[in-house]
Amino acid sequence: MPVYEYHCEKCDKSVEMIRPMRDADAPVKCEGCGQSRSMKRLHSTFATTTGGGGSQASPAPGCGRCGDPRGSCSM
């Protein structure tokens, strides 16, 4: 199932949810303020894999905390 990200315009809280595609636009209750009308689904990217069995280059290692592609950070 896909992961969707929602943002509350009232309390500025963001959440990620694993939901079926058919429920992507169904109302979501904010964990912060309890409102559902203020929750908006954000646009996001997605990833796929190839099923051909061919080799692919691995992505460059990056920092697991901040995402810096140069490696570890001091966070």
Residue-range domain boundaries for the chain: 3-41
- The whole-number pLDDT of residue 54 equals 54
Average pLDDT for 5-30: 92
Q: Is the pLDDT of residue 67 over 80?
A: no
Strands (DSSP E) contained in the chain are 3-8, 14-18, 39-41
Q: Give the residue, 20 or 75, on which the prediction is more confident.
A: 20
- The whole-number pLDDT of residue 6 equals 93
A 10 A CB-CB count for 4 gives 18
How does pLDDT run across 24-61, given as a tens digit for each residue? 999 999 988 998 889 999 987 767 777 665 555 555 55
- The whole-number pLDDT of residue 36 equals 85
